Amino acid sequence: MDFTRRDTLAIGAAAAAVTALPMPAMASLTEDAIAEFTGGADVADGGVDLDAPEIAENGNTVPIEVSAEGATAIMVLAAGNPTPGVATFNFGDASGAHRAKTRIRLAGTQDVVAVAKMADGSFAKTQKTVKVTIGGCGG
């Protein structure tokens, strides 16, 4: 198939529009998810440990660890994914430590956010940028 100069320009412009569009939408989705979790309460920075690799070669399986002293629940969000929700850990009476490890999918280089709900009803947040070499969203 031959591309004329005109075709190439049109395709390039369309691709640029597609990649540029979702960015503002994603940021507000993350904020909405945080607001839903906290019920609009203030979120302090720090107080949550989020351990994620600086560079993840394969976005299909990125190991992360979250922990927060005295947390009842920790929500993990991936701000740059098509849907920001990743997981919410609710710790019960029989839990030994407020710490959990899992593996997540990241669509590309982005911030991973952890929001913890403390036993006293306050909230804390930490975020970390993970560079992703191959995105984990298929397609």
Partner 1 sequence: MAKGVRPRVKAPRSAEAGEVVVIKTLISHKMESGQRKDSDGNVIPRSIINRFTCEYNGAMVVDVEMHPAISTNPYFEFEATIPEAGDFQFTWYDDDGSVYEETKTVKVG
Residues in contact with partner 1 by the rule CB under 8 A: 60-62, 78, 81-83, 85-97, 99-106, 136-139
Closest distance to partner 1 from the beta carbon of 6 (Å) = 25
CB of residue 121 to partner 1, shortest distance in Å: 19
Q: What span, in angstroms and rounded, lies between the C-alpha atoms of 72 and 56?
A: 29
When the beta carbons of 42 and 97 are compared against partner 1, the nearer one is: 97
CA 44 – CA 88 distance, rounded (Å): 18
Query: Least separation, in Å, of the C-beta of 5 and partner 1?
Result: 27
Q: Helix, strand or coil for residue 118? A: strand
Residue 128 pairs in a beta bridge with 112
Nearer to partner 1, 68 or 104 (CB): 104
The least CB distance from residue 138 to partner 1, in Å, is 3
- Judged by beta carbon, residue 9 or residue 83, the one nearer partner 1 is 83
Residue number, 90 or 129, with CB nearest to partner 1: 90
> For residue 36, what are the CA distances in angstroms to 29, 30, 40, 115, 122?
10, 10, 7, 12, 14
Amino acid at residue number 57: E
